[in-house]
Chains A and B, each alone.
Chain A
Amino acid sequence: MASAELRDTRRRIKSVQSTMKITRAMELIAASRIPRATARVEASKPYSAKLVDVIRNVAVASGGASHMLLEQRPVERAGVLVVASDRGLAGAYASTIIREAERRIVDLEHAGTPTRLLVVGKKAQTYFQYRKYHIERSFLGVTDTPGYGDARAIAATLMGAYATGTVDSVDAFYTRFQSALTQIPVQFQLLPIAPPAAEGEVPTTVDYSYEPSPAQILDRLLPRYVESTVFSMLLEASASEHSARRRAMKAATENAEELIRVLTRIANRARQAEITTEISEIVGGAEALAQQKS
């Protein structure tokens, strides 16, 4: 009969093994999604680059046209947009960006500026709900494979809130995908649109002919810019999330392997101790019998 210690250890090994199966599967799934997610990040770049180009040209050509989305106004209520994840098991991915955002919210509230919070991802929603923050709007189920439609819905909500004066600015928090090993939490001002930084030379004035008027064109261009910015934010965040999950699950799998090694050693020792006891009992018994005979 196996001793209690041996039985317990064997049970633990089995349980760790089945956990390891799950973490390994999750690692592989996350790993298979990284290339797709980064390919989508790359594929979206030409559009946003060209859009910035066009906006810069139009802005210069129309002689510093003003638009509601460009206008800096005194910030009475600040909007904060956080892009986290819907699912956990991605290491510190969600908590890192949530912490950054929370720090900003606390700073703003300290300075006497009430904040309106918009969250993307269930993890962020639960976190802020639990801490009794008022969440203006949550977007769930978009972080895994974000589509342009999702970006559009989020951008529309933000611009709507900005237009009605619910918020006077929007700060966005997301995780930028640097490489499979490095993802950086980033904060930037989404609204009002910061005038596209003049990278390189300032474009010379272009005498466009417009169809329809420049104001109408700008009116269509700027919302597209917000959408495309939100979209690339979501894509970067998604790539970061998959990388973070892969890394976390790889670490978990390795820890499980190590744990199994240790537990197997303990189990072997227990089994050996048991055998030794049995042998010494048998030998002792045989000895006793031999003595009785003589």
Chain B
Amino acid sequence: MGFRVDIVAPEAVVWSGEAEFVVARTTEGEIGILAGHEPLMAALATGVVVVESGNEKVTIGTHGGFLQVLNNQVTLLTDRAEISEGDRADALRVAEQLRAQEEASEDDSES
């Protein structure tokens, strides 16, 4: 049984669709979500989100934001997110890049 997943960043919807399994990294550690998960509100850390739907597997590097599970709907409100073309290691690199970008932009605004 699937559930709806929306991964959105401030500037765009990064990924949206039906999925069977989602893995994400919260500030407290890695969690896996299957259909029928209890309502959850969590803060996301820098890391990799994996969405599995059918035979498809999407890996997304994310940085910051929130994860909400409610009524069999998973919403990830990320600060930054980017779909990675490669494997997990690659997605992790993407996530680290996003973090570096953000830190760079924060330095800008302070100067």
Question: Would B70 and A149 count as touching, CB distance under 8 A?
Answer: no
Write the nearest CB–CB distance from A182 to chain B, whole angstroms: 25
Interface residues of B in 1-27 (CB under 8 A from A): 6, 8-13, 26-27
List residues of chain A with CB within 8 A of the CB of B43: 211-212, 216-217, 220
Decide yes or no whether B42 CB sits under 8 A from chain A. yes
- Residue in chain B with minimal CB distance to A228: B10
Interface of A, secondary structure class, is helix
Interface residues of A in 117-174 (CB under 8 A from B): 147-149, 151-153, 156
Question: Would B108 and A149 count as touching, CB distance under 8 A?
Answer: yes
Q: If the complex has contacts A50-B77, A149-B108, are A211 and B13 also in contact, measured as CB distance less than 8 A?
A: no
Decide yes or no whether B85 CB sits under 8 A from chain A. no
Question: Would A47 and B9 count as touching, CB distance under 8 A?
Answer: yes
Decide yes or no whether A40 CB sits under 8 A from chain B. yes
List residues of chain B with CB within 8 A of the CB of A40: 11
Q: What are the interface flags for B33-61 relative to A under an 8 Å C-beta threshold, 1 for contact and 0 otherwise?
A: 00000111111000000000000000000
Question: Would A231 and B10 count as touching, CB distance under 8 A?
Answer: yes
List residues of chain B with CB within 8 A of the CB of A220: 43, 66
Q: If the complex has contacts A208-B41, A220-B43, are A47 and B66 also in contact, measured as CB distance less than 8 A?
A: no
Q: If the complex has contacts A211-B26, A217-B66, are A50 and B42 also in contact, measured as CB distance less than 8 A?
A: no
- Residue in chain A with minimal CB distance to B31: A211
Of the listed stretches A51-59, A75-83, A253-261, chain B binds A51-59
Partner of A43, one of B6, B13, B26: B13
Q: If the complex has contacts A211-B41, A211-B43, are A54 and B68 also in contact, measured as CB distance less than 8 A?
A: yes
Decide yes or no whether A224 CB sits under 8 A from chain B. yes
Question: Would B11 and A211 count as touching, CB distance under 8 A?
Answer: no
Q: If the complex has contacts A57-B68, A152-B105, A224-B77, are A210 and B42 also in contact, measured as CB distance less than 8 A?
A: yes
Write the nearest CB–CB distance from B21 to chain A, whole angstroms: 19
List residues of chain A with CB within 8 A of the CB of B97: none
Question: Would B11 and A208 count as touching, CB distance under 8 A?
Answer: no
Query: Chain B interface (Cβ within 8 Å of chain A)?
Result: 6, 8-13, 26-28, 31, 38-43, 65-66, 68, 70, 75, 77, 79, 105-106, 108-109
Write the nearest CB–CB distance from B24 to chain A, whole angstroms: 11
Write the nearest CB–CB distance from B109 to chain A, whole angstroms: 4
- Bound-state CA distance A217–B26 (Å) is 12
Write the nearest CB–CB distance from B46 to chain A, whole angstroms: 14
Q: What 8 A-B pairs come out closest when comparing CB atoms?
A: A153-B109, A211-B42, A149-B105, A208-B41, A211-B28, A43-B12, A148-B10, A208-B39
- Bound-state CA distance A190–B59 (Å) is 36
Question: Would A209 and B38 count as touching, CB distance under 8 A?
Answer: yes
Write the nearest CB–CB distance from B7 to chain A, whole angstroms: 10
Question: Would A46 and B66 count as touching, CB distance under 8 A?
Answer: no
- Bound-state CA distance A221–B44 (Å) is 12
- Bound-state CA distance A208–B61 (Å) is 25
- Residue in chain B with minimal CB distance to A49: B8
List residues of chain A with CB within 8 A of the CB of B38: 207, 209
Question: Would A227 and B10 count as touching, CB distance under 8 A?
Answer: yes
In the complex, besides A212-B28, A217-B41, 11 extra interface pairs with C-beta distance below 8 angstroms are A46-B6, A47-B8, A47-B9, A47-B10, A54-B66, A57-B68, A147-B11, A148-B10, A151-B10, A209-B39, A211-B43
Q: If the complex has contacts A57-B68, A224-B77, are A212 and B10 also in contact, measured as CB distance less than 8 A?
A: no
Sampled A-B contacts (27; CB under 8 Å):
A44-B10, A46-B6, A50-B6, A50-B75, A51-B77, A54-B75, A61-B41, A147-B11, A149-B109, A151-B10, A152-B106, A152-B109, A207-B38, A208-B39, A208-B70, A209-B38, A209-B39, A211-B31, A212-B27, A212-B28, A214-B41, A217-B41, A217-B66, A224-B65, A224-B66, A224-B77, A228-B10
